[in-house]
A = this chain, B = another copy of it.
Amino acid sequence: MIIQNMHRVLYQSPAVTTDVAIFTIVGEQLKVLLVRRSDRPFRNTWALPGGFLHKNETTNLAAVRILSEKAGVKNVFVEQLYTFDAIGRDPRGRIMSVVYFTLVPHQDIKFKKGDKTQTPLFWSLKKLPKLAFDHKNIVTYARKRLASKLEYTNVVFSLLPKKFTFSQLQKAYEIILDRKLDKRNFRKKFLLLGLIKLTRGLLSGTRQRPARLYEFISRKPEELKKFF
């Protein structure tokens, strides 16, 4: 400990924070969770949820904690995105941020009550407010990574409920990749991956023909051979 602090003094180690980009799909839009800052700097400005590390906490665990505190979601994978440490990114001095990102099904989100000072809210990526610090950059970067991640992994499962229709699956891809996909080709290709299976259920209650419900065989992150 003494040695560690010696280094801090000698080498001016920056302070370390963790921020988390929490994505979800609501309606037909990709959204990211933002909180309104209650403290200076950037008081009342929207920002990614985040903060300084707790004692003996890794950045990964901090990200999991923040996700739980702000969105009420547990047992979800977070992935390290990038470490941002440009000089001047935080007016308080040398503060770096190890940023994580994650995908959450909209239904699973439960905002805590009574957290009056920091109101979390999902914002569409197409209409973001002014963001604190360099968070605009961070969101843009996370957005890109998310899209490319979709192309060679099965992460889409973490955006969908346990059971889902093929249309929902396809919509998720279309929203994130930001382009239309062909229905028949999409079904063929995705079924061939062998990641999902039919369930006995149907989605009724819509005004149309009921859709068949599928589920992922495994809900663990995996790399795929290839995809889009």
Interface positions of A (Cβ within 8 A of B): 1, 3-4, 7-8, 10-16, 52-56, 58-60, 80, 82-83, 85-87, 92-96, 98
Contacts and interface: CB of A to CB of B under 8 A. Distances in A.
Given A58-B87, A83-B59, A86-B58, A52 B95 contact: no
Contacts of A86: 58
Given A13-B13, A13-B15, A93 B4 contact: yes
A108 to B, nearest CB: 27
Contacts of A7: 15, 52, 92, 95
Given A83-B80, A94-B4, A13 B58 contact: no
A69 to B, nearest CB: 15
Given A7-B92, A56-B94, A60-B85, 10 more contacts: A11-B53, A11-B55, A12-B54, A12-B55, A13-B15, A14-B16, A16-B96, A58-B87, A59-B96, A85-B98
Contacts of A8: 8, 15
A92 B82 CA distance: 25
Given A11-B53, A82-B80, A4 B95 contact: yes
B98 A11 contact: no
Given A16-B16, A95-B4, A85 B56 contact: no
A86 B86 CA distance: 23
A93 B52 contact: no
Contact of A13 (B1, B12, B52): B52
